[in-house]
């Protein structure tokens, strides 16, 4: 896709989301050299990563200023883009002040980039903090309008992206039917496997207008999930890595290299530790955020229902599956090194008196079993569709035995989840706000350890474009499934699989507000957005209370 500044400005105006800064970005002179815009991320109290890409290798100057006119220049420097990094450029700008907004740009002999705006982490006693939580942006399925809406919200301080920033599938796979209609088919056409493949795919995703504006408007705190490499990876492989696709270790290394090149992400001191993407952020005494890595460093291979469901024919075989297969104590989710890191950082957060403890978590954590829905049936028009009927039958089979809806999530690793809760309890951190992606659905959940003790709440975000699991059943039946799931599971207060959007979390010293924001469509760049539901979170004893507003 060739980026059109005229179309970008037209779309931004039409959406009604034009802020003064967004207008400056959209209306900046066209410079095809900077074909993927600018971005910032991985903020600390005194530093931030700035990022850009050029269409060819070139020397550049970067500038950071206090004002958009760049009259109050703070710091500048020189660098260059090179083919060895796919013409991406990153700089870790240090010596900045906490809780401060800065503007930045890149200048070359062939002109300059549009401006970007970033922010450092606050120190001291912030009165508020606004975080937009995003996940699952699949390019062929539609336009990244939720990103565009995030860009237009001046109150957002940081964007937490919980993964599936790109998808690995080729043009003959999931989403391509929609991609053909929208002229947003994946590039390259094949499933991405090599370093060149991953780089090309990242570049394509960065050309989306909403993505470009969001990256220019707000600093990103990114982490990956599975599709940045391949569907459902684990320590030594992935569900979507086949024998003819080379060595998994090589593919994973290529995906991680491209991710670091194409995201505003700080490089580790030891390059061998790139897979260890767990981090900790402090927002003064208001909140801490600890992000997890649940894909490449500690996860055991997923259990596959296809191998076990046919064997479940009695209460005895069901109990064996739950207790001995799912409940195998040798199956892990997190590496020992990360468990130690999380325990240490949560203990520090408690000791320092932080008011809120956030966990950046890729996959759903709440216990989510499928209810018995044998009284429901597909409309005849859908029942004649073999793929949809098979999908419906799959959920019916799970509901018959009250089994977890997914086994790639924490539900597929119940012993590991309990171990995670225990390390949180040992740090006296039982008031977690777990922020979750992956499922393509909104969730408002309460969390409980195996002993019944409250562990906090979970806020799950829908996909930016990726569709929910029940949507193929039609809106009426999908809505009923959502309701049944919430009614059936103690930990689930509400879920919605039929909207695309994001979660906005507003923290204040005593209360937090979670807003679930949906966009009206993803098939056009002309859209509207609305708040579907809000919850207020407050302290209660050593944990949290959550109630609908």
β-pairing verdict for 442-448 and 454-460: antiparallel
Select from 76, 50, 74 the least CA-distant residue to 62.
Answer: 76
Conformational region of residue 96, where left means phi above 0, alpha means psi within -120 to 50, and beta covers everything else: beta
H helices, E strands: number in the chain: 14, 24
Write down the pTM of the prediction.
Answer: 0.96
Residue 2: the pLDDT is 39
Residue 3: the pLDDT is 41
Give the three-state DSSP class for 238: strand
Q: H-helix or E-strand containing 21?
A: helix 20-27
Residue 7: the pLDDT is 60
Residue 6: the pLDDT is 54
Give the three-state DSSP class for 309: helix
Separation of alpha carbons 414 and 436, rounded Å: 17
Domain boundaries, the chain: 5-30+122-369+404-548
- Any residues with CB less than 8 A from the CB of 297 and at least 6 apart, and which? 235, 275, 276, 334, 335, 337, 338
What is the domain class of 5-30+122-369+404-548 according to CATH?
alpha beta
Residue 344: the pLDDT is 98
Select from 399, 392, 402 the least CA-distant residue to 322.
Answer: 402
Residue 235: the pLDDT is 96
Burial 193-215 (b: 16+ CB within 10 A, else e): bbbebbbbbbbbbbbbbbbbbbb
Reading the block at residue 134, the tokens are: 């995003």
Residue 13: the pLDDT is 55
Reading the block at residue 421, the tokens are: 């809760």
Separation of alpha carbons 291 and 289, rounded Å: 6
Separation of alpha carbons 45 and 98, rounded Å: 5
Burial 219-230 (b: 16+ CB within 10 A, else e): bbbbbbbbbbbb
Q: What is the pLDDT along the chain (549 residues), one digit of tens a residue?
A: 334 445 655 565 555 556 788 777 877 777 999 999 999 999 999 999 999 999 999 999 999 999 999 999 999 999 999 999 999 999 999 999 999 999 999 999 999 999 999 999 999 999 999 999 999 999 999 999 999 999 999 999 999 999 999 999 999 999 999 999 999 999 999 999 999 999 999 999 999 999 999 999 999 999 999 999 999 999 999 999 999 999 999 999 999 999 999 999 999 988 889 999 999 999 999 999 999 999 999 999 999 999 999 999 899 999 999 999 999 999 999 999 999 999 999 999 999 999 999 999 999 999 999 999 999 999 888 988 999 999 999 999 999 999 999 999 999 999 999 999 999 999 999 999 999 999 999 999 999 999 999 999 999 999 999 999 999 999 999 999 999 999 999 999 999 999 999 999 999 999 999 999 999 999 999 999 999 999 999 999 999 999 999
């Amino acid at each position: 896709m060739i980026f059109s500044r005229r179309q970008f400005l037209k779309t931004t105006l039409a959406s009604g989301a034009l802020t003064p800064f967004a207008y400056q970005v959209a209306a900046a002179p066209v410079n095809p050299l900077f074909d993927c815009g600018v971005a910032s991320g991985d903020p600390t109290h005194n530093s931030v990563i700035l990022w850009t890409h050029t269409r060819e290798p070139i020397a550049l100057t970067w500038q950071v200023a206090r004002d958009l006119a760049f009259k109050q220049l703070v710091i500048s420097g020189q660098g260059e883009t090179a083919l060895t990094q796919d013409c991406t450029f990153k700089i870790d700008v240090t010596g900045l002040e906490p809780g401060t907004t800065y503007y930045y740009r890149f200048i070359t002999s062939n002109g300059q980039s549009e401006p970007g705006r970033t922010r450092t982490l606050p120190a001291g006693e912030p009165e508020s903090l606004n975080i937009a939580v995003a996940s699952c942006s699949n390019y062929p399925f539609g336009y990244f309008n939720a990103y565009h809406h995030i860009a237009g919200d001046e109150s957002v301080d940081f964007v937490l992206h919980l993964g599936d920033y790109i998808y690995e599938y080729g043009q003959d796979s999931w989403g391509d039917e929609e991609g053909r209609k929208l002229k947003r088919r994946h590039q390259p056409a094949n499933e991405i496997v090599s370093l060149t493949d991953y780089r090309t795919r990242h570049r394509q995703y960065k050309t989306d207008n909403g993505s470009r504006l969001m990256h220019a408007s707000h600093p990103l705190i990114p982490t990956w999930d599975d599709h940045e490499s391949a569907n459902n990876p684990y320590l030594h492989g992935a569900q979507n890595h086949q024998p003819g696709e080379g060595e998994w270790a090589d593919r994973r290394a290529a995906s991680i290299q491209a991710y670091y090149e194409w995201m505003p992400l700080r490089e580790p001191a030891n390059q061998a530790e790139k897979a260890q993407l767990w981090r900790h952020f402090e927002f003064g005494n208001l909140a801490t955020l600890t992000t997890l890595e649940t894909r490449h460093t500690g996860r055991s291979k997923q259990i596959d229902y296809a191998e076990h469901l046919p064997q479940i024919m009695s209460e005895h075989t069901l109990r064996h599956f739950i207790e001995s297969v799912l409940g195998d104590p040798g199956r892990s989710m997190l590496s020992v090194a990360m468990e130690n890191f999380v325990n240490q950082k949560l203990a520090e957060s408690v000791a320092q008196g932080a008011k809120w403890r956030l966990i950046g978590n890729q996959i759903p954590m709440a216990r989510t079993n499928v209810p018995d829905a044998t009284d429901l049936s597909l409309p005849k028009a859908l029942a004649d569709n073999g793929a949809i009927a098979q999908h419906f039958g799959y959920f019916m089979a799970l509901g018959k035995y009250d089994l977890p809806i997914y086994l790639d999530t924490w539900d597929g690793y119940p012993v590991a989840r309990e171990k995670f809760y225990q390390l949180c309890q040992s740090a006296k951190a039982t008031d977690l706000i777990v922020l979750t992606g992956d499922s393509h659905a909104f969730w408002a959940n309460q969390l409980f350890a195996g002993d019944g003790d409250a562990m906090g709440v979970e806020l799950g975000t829908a996909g930016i474009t990726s569709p929910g699991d029940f949507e193929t059943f039609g809106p009426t039946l999908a809505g009923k499934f959502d309701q049944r799931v919430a009614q059936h599971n103690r930990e689930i207060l509400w879920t919605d699989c039929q909207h695309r959007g994001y979660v906005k979390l507003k923290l204040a010293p005593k209360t937090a507000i979670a807003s679930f924001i949906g966009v009206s469509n993803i098939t056009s760049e002309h859209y509207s957005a609305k708040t579907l539901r809000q919850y207020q979170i407050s302290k209660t004893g050593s944990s949290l209370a959550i109630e609908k507003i």
